[in-house]
Structure 1
Amino acid sequence: METFGEKVKRTTKKVIRAIIILVILGGVITFSFLYWGTYEDGVMAGKILRISEKGVMFKTYEGKINLETFGALKGTSPIAESFDFSVEKSDKDLIKQLQTVALSGERVNLYFVKRYARFPWRGDTKYFATRIERLQ
């Protein structure tokens, strides 16, 4: 026959096991939300100033777009009106298009998503270019 102490030990082990499983499950759900969740989805118009691969440990593609609103806001400089963004490393076609328009200096619409969190292997910003539209 089982004693009271043995029952308490067995129940305690079950409770601890359940807590550990819940913590791990909560961590996976939180990480998934922060990694793949989209906070904002939008478009910016301007000229691509640069697109480059950078990083020491994690190589990421980073870009800058000049929003060309000089004069629209009094007392601001064109530098303050540029916008940094990242590009997913797997999106080779978009990287190629961005390099092409950066060299040509043409005006584009840059579509982007903003993620909830920044991860060093993904990019320097929370903003990720998803596609560009060349303006004629």
Structure 2
Amino acid sequence: METFGEKVKRTTKKVTRIILIVLLIAGVITFSFLYWGTYEDGVLAGKVLRISQKGVMFKTYEGKINLETFGALKGTSPIAESFDFSVEKGDKDLVKELQTVALSGERVNLYFVKRYARFPWRGDTKYFATRVERLK
């Protein structure tokens, strides 16, 4: 016959195991949402100033685009505003295209997505370029 203490031990182990499994599943779901979830997607128009590979432990591609915004008054000079972005590691074709337009100085449309969280092995920003479109 089982004693009261043995029943409590068995029940405690079972409850602890269930709690750990639920916490593990919740952690995996949360990480997946933060890693792959998209908070925003859009397009920026401007000139790519630079695209470079940075990092000590994790080498990531980082870029900067110059957005020329104009004031409300006619005849005012453009205000130089820059926007930092990252490029996914496996997207070598996009990196080459960005390097080409950075060297040519042409105006482009840069399509991007914004992630919920920043991870050091992925990039310095939450913004990731997805494609670049040259303006005619």
TM-score, normalised via structure 1 length: 0.93
CA shift for structure 1 position 76: 8.5
CA shift for structure 1 position 77: 4.5
Which 4+ residue blocks in structure 1 deviate beyond 2 angstroms? 70-77
Which residue pairs with 2:82 in the alignment? 82
List gaps (5 residues or longer) in structure 2: none
List gaps (5 residues or longer) in structure 1: none
Matches within 5 A, 1:108-119: 108-119=108-119
Which residue pairs with 2:50 in the alignment? 50
SS in 2 for 1:67: strand
Q: Does 1:95 align with 2:95?
A: yes
| Distance in 2 between residues matched to 1:8 and 1:72, nearest whole Å | 73
Bigger Cα displacement from structure 2, 62-71 vs 34-43? 62-71
Which residue pairs with 1:12 in the alignment? 12
CA shift for structure 1 position 7: 0.8
The percentage of aligned residue pairs carrying the same residue is: 84
CA shift for structure 1 position 71: 3.5
| Distance in 2 between residues matched to 1:4 and 1:76, nearest whole Å | 80
Deviations 1:26-77, CA, capped at 9 Å, x for gaps: 1111100000000001000000000000011110000000011144598984
TM-score, normalised via structure 2 length: 0.93
Aligned residue pairs, count: 134
Whether the 8 Å CA contact 2:69–2:79 is kept in 1: the answer is: no
SS in 2 for 1:56: coil
Report the aligned-residue RMSD. 1.7
Which residue pairs with 2:123 in the alignment? 123
